[in-house]
Structure 1
Amino acid sequence: MCTYVSEKHTRRFMKTGVGGVLVVFGSFCSLRYGLALIMHFSNFTMITQRVSLSIAIIAMVNSTQQHGPANASTEGPLPDPLSNRSRALRDFNTRAAVYQWSPETQGIIFSSISYGIILTLIPSGYLAGVMGAKQILGAGLLTSSLLTLFTPLAADFGVILVIVIRTVQGMAQGMAWTGQFTIWAKWAPPLERSKLTSIAGSGAAFGSFIILCVGGLISQALGWPFIFYIFGSIGCVCCVLWFTVIYDDPMHHPCISTREKNHIVSSLAQQPSSPRRSVPIKAMVRCLPLWAIFMGFFSHFWLCTIIITYLPTYISTVLHVNIRDSGVLSSLPFVAASSCTILGGQVADFLLSRNLLSLLAVRKVFSFLGLFLPSLCAVALPFVTSSYITTIILLILIPGTSNFCDSGFIINTLDIAPRYASFLMGISRGFGLTAGIISSTTTGFLISQDSESGWRNVFFLSAVVNMFGLVFYLTFGQAEIQDWAKERTLTRL
């Protein structure tokens, strides 16, 4: 992870006319990009642990599962070691318990992790600024991984314990999500924030793709408990990397080059910092640019939650695709989401570094793309159901284009209040999770009344919510550090 940029390399970039800025673009192997990859891995781990139950529960409540080789015959050929091994594996799979959980109970289990996340988003964001994001985020990741490993055992003890574990796991993941922005407030130069946060954030989309692709295969080949064992173990490995490599700021990292440290420190020299940790709640409540970010999160999560939660159902019921193909098709949008997240970060920082657009213009352009384009696709969906290819393309574009918001309002708290970035990110995600809970409930109600008109109303309503958030952000969004987020100690002397 310790890398250096050569003097020759530096001089070459210095001659280009944009000075040291281009050194940054020529140093993707620097330590800060290594940290972004580890955060990418962490986000990958957390989303796979969160979605694991959604995949495993299909087998966990499968009442038609066979509990023995009911069709065994004595007239077949003599068994060979390979067939014995396959039969033993099948027997092992079928010994996994099947639980009598009603759809209502399953709904409670699924939502429990979201309630847990809401409980810790705001306090963990504040604690990350006080105690250090490394400890808070690492503890959350480790707790989530250990609870994932114990989920199959908890299921044997009853549904109540599963709900408790999922709630605590949500609390742990809430700690992990928000702590990242405290780290980037000290590690990310202003012209690289979009790029670094998009590399880290794309891990969630990539993790969704992987778990949807391989979760069913793992359950079929090894048994559903191994979904939890595998991704819980991956999380533990990620924790080792986290506590070894991640540090709260570049000044204390033992493996950073002097040049990179100086570059980060000098680029953040104008950022206010203070040991004072009081939170100006009243000023935040009256801050319209901050409410613009909150409304953006609410709108963004409304549609994204519907896609994540109901995409397999939509593909199965509307396109009449079988379960195996539905899983593969459901994973494709997350490839687009991951790609657009990274692409958006690269383009945003390119526009800033070349002074092609102001910081505020970049934030609003990418917010527009991330809210308007998926709304357009959502409105078009009910009218193209007769075309299989067109429907799939639109379903892929919705989460893909939505992730352009990662370079818009999603990281805007780093611009307007870097001192309180994690705290405000916790509140922002709280608005997003609230939108997700409301949208999921509303979607279930609408499609239960009438499938065809229900889905149309779902997508139209989502477009309206997105347009509300977009107009609000375009009207009140700002990119300058707010007065209440600036250091005022010197003015009191």
Structure 2
Amino acid sequence: MAATNSAPPLLHSYQKRPPVFAPHLSFVSFKKTQLGFESRISTTKLEWKGREEQWQSKVKRHGGVRCAAEGIDGGMFVRKRAREDGVGVSIPERFKVVFLVACVMCLCNADRVVMSVAIVPLAAKHGWSSSFLGIVQSSFLWGYIFSSVIGGALVDRYGGKRVFACGVFLWSLATLLTPLAANHSTMSLLAIRAFFGLAEGVALPSMSTLLSRWFPTNERASAVGISMAGFHLGNVIGLLLTPIMLSTIGISGPFILFSSLGLLWVMTWLYRVTDDPMESHFISRSEQRLIQAGKRGSPKKSSKFPPLHLLLSKLPSWAIIFANATNNWGYFVLLSWMPVYFKSVYNVNLKQAAWFSAVPWATMAISGYLAGLASDFLINAGYPTTFVRKLMQTIGFIGPAVTLLCLNYANTPTVAATLMTAALSLSSFSQAGFMLNIQDIAPQYAGILHGISNSAGTLAAIISTIGTGYFVQWLGSFQAFLTLTAGLYFVTTIFWNLFASGEQVL
């Protein structure tokens, strides 16, 4: 009778527990223990069903959920746990992170492009020659070449968040001071542009390392594609807005606008983003598990200085270095000289030159994202990483080489813009080639390897930017330099396919 008298409270307590998490319970002990209420269980099945429906309705209405990872939580509703388990989270946190990265990469390139357009009225004002234009254009690269390696090492040591934020703050400050320096003297202008490049050198290593920590391996190419789409759209925004602001506000207008946006981004970044998704207060537990499950060769912060002799002793490292150098050679020739090219070759005005120059970068943003999607698709379909990286890089070099050769035969600005659009669109496949390959072969030292390859690329960009000016002044046309650039694309493609690898070697 004692057992019978205690049955109703136990049954009442048991019925109060919603059966939605019943798989976590064991009924063995109830079956073995003769408490006297077994016969009543069958009569309550309909009540349980009704209670389950009420419970699920309550969960949807209040946004609450019980933590069932360890079994029963006593029926407590905890909104914090609801967020951690993904209930009510509409946009994954890693997508918000890549959006912020894409925004700052857009600013990164817009700040560069402002000078490519503003240099035309500055040259007219100060009487600069074509060769000196190349020196002014390349001054950005003087600082960039030194900060790439140092910035990459800092990213490996401290992570991308703080290094990225410091870099954006400093280059936004340099952008703000650029028109003041130009009014003071040419030496001041060269110095501030070199400082600007010094600050921007940390951008790509920070982006690469941060995205590799926030995205599983099978989504990394798409994430880089989105970020670099922002990078290329920065060219479009800079090329289109700068002439308008120069003609309405003056030379200071675009510099003030883009520097202000950079400072606003820094405040948002420091509040929202962490170096590792496991440290974030905004991410759900389910998303953390998804990221961790999809990691392969995830980079970790290292207190040791990376072994440079080991990095440079591997042929796959040199394949990346040469690919970066060739990519930057062609990229900066087009970035720095496109407005001048259309003005001098086809005699179009500054606003028209900006439109012709902007179209290729817009399509490059789209094609780069599509290249990332294609790369992830091929890897998920089972193709070897080495094959995918070689394929993407081959498209990224052979395509521009052929179109630049064809550009020598263009006779109208429309045809020239079409060929440049094709060249830049195809070159964006390099993002799914050598840029992603850095994380493949050396995940722990990706920052420093990216910095080394960026320095080589910057040196190539300095030579090509200055060399274009001298070639134009010497030969009176762009054709010879475009042919030389196409030849470099062909040679580097051969080296890449011989020695590149998608496997970890460091």
TM above 0.5: yes
Q: Give the conservation status (yes or no) of the 8 Å contact 2:130–2:469.
A: no
CA contact (8 A) 1:299 1:468 kept: no
1:166 and 2:196 matched: no
Task: Identify which of 247, 266, 274 aligns with 2:293.
Answer: 266
TM superposition shift of 1:186:
1.6
After TM superposition, the structure 1 = structure 2 runs for residues 333-344 of structure 1, keeping only pairs within 5 Å, are 333-344=360-371
- Which residue of 1 is the match for residue 463 of structure 2? 438
Residues 129 and 167 (structure 1 numbering): CA distance in 2 closer, same or farther, change over 3 Å? same
2:118 counterpart of 1:52: no
What residue in structure 1 maps to residue 405 of structure 2? Answer: 379
1:318 aligned partner, one-letter code: V
**1:153 Cα offset (Å):** 2.8
Q: Match for 2:494: what amino acid?
A: V
Question: Does residue 219 in structure 1 map to residue 219 in structure 2?
Answer: no
Match of 1:368 in 2: 394
Q: Structure 1: which 5+ runs fail to align?
A: 1-6, 8-26, 64-98, 486-493
Deviation digits for residues 451-475 of structure 1 (CA, Å, limit 9, x no counterpart): 3xx5332222111100111110100
Q: Aligned in 2, Cα 1:475/1:50: closer, same or farther, shift over 3 Å?
A: same
TM-aligned CA deviation for residue 373 of structure 1: 0.7
CA contact (8 A) 1:128 1:422 kept: yes
Is this contact kept in 2: 1:185–1:421, CA < 8 A? no
Structure 1 residues 408-419: aligned runs within 5 Å? 408-419=433-444
Asked if 1:473 is matched to 2:490, the reply is no
**CA distance, structure 2, for counterparts of residue 251 and residue 329 of structure 1:** 45
SS in 1 for 2:250: coil
Structure 1's 272 and 407: CA in aligned 2 closer, same or farther, altered over 3 A? closer
Where does the alignment leave 5 or more consecutive residues of structure 2 unmatched?
A: 1-64, 66-88
Identity of aligned pairs, percent? 27
2:312 corresponds, among 279, 285, 305, to 285
Shift of 1:412: 0.4
Please give the alpha-carbon distance, in whole angstroms, between the structure 1 residues aligned to 2:322 and 2:175: 32
Letter in 1 for 2:404: A
Count, aligned residues? 420
**1:427 alignment partner, one of 423, 440, 452:** 452
**Counterpart residue number, 1:117:** 144
The answer to whether 1:463 aligns with 2:486 is yes
Q: Deviations over 1:20-56 (max 9, x none)?
A: xxxxxxx993211211111111111111112222322
Relative to structure 1, the CA distance from residue 444 to residue 120 in structure 2 (aligned partners, 3 Å threshold; closer, same or farther) is same
- Distance, in Å, in 1 between the alignment partners of 2:411 and 2:134 is 31
| SS of corresponding position for 1:418 | coil
For residue 320 of structure 1, what is the aligned residue in structure 2?
347
Residues 105 and 446 (structure 1 numbering): CA distance in 2 closer, same or farther, change over 3 Å? closer
Q: Distance in 2 between matches of 1:334 and 1:28?
A: 31
2:429 pairs with one of 385, 391, 404: 404
Name the SS of the counterpart of 1:229 in structure 2. helix
Out of 237-246 and 190-199, give the one that drifted further: 237-246
In 1, Cα distance between equivalents of 2:418 and 2:295: 42
How many Å separate the matches in 2 of 1:50 and 1:316?
19
Q: Which residue of 2 aligns with 1:305?
A: 332
Partners of 1:442 and 1:340 in 2: how far apart? 29
Residues 62 and 376 from structure 1, CA distance in 2 versus in 1: closer, same or farther, beyond 3 angstroms?
closer
Rg (Cα) greater in structure: 2
TM-score norm. by structure 1 comes to: 0.80
In structure 1, C-alpha distance between the alignment counterparts of 2:444 and 2:90, rounded to whole Å: 26
* TM-score with structure 2 setting the length: 0.78
Amino acid at match of 2:109: I
Partner SS, residue 255 of structure 1? coil
Query: Alpha carbons of 1:43 and 1:319: their partners in 2 closer, same or farther (altered >3 Å)?
Result: same
**What CA distance in whole angstroms lies between the structure 2 residues aligned with 1:450 and 1:167?**
29
**Cα deviation per residue 1:162-190 (whole Å; 9 max; x = unaligned)?**
22222211111112332222212322211
User: Cα offset for 1:387?
Assistant: 5.1
> Counterparts in 2 of 1:56-205, with a 5 A limit?
56-63=118-125, 106-205=133-232
The 3 A distance-change label for structure 1 pair 405 and 56 is: same
Alpha-carbon shift at residue 106 of structure 1 (Å): 4.6
Partners of 1:56 and 1:439 lie apart in 2 by 20
The residue that corresponds to 2:86 in the other structure is none
Decide whether the 8 Å contact of 1:298 with 1:469 is kept in 2: no
Whether 1:245 and 2:268 are equivalent positions in the alignment is no
SS of alignment partner, residue 419 of structure 1: coil
Q: Which amino acid aligns with 2:338?
A: L
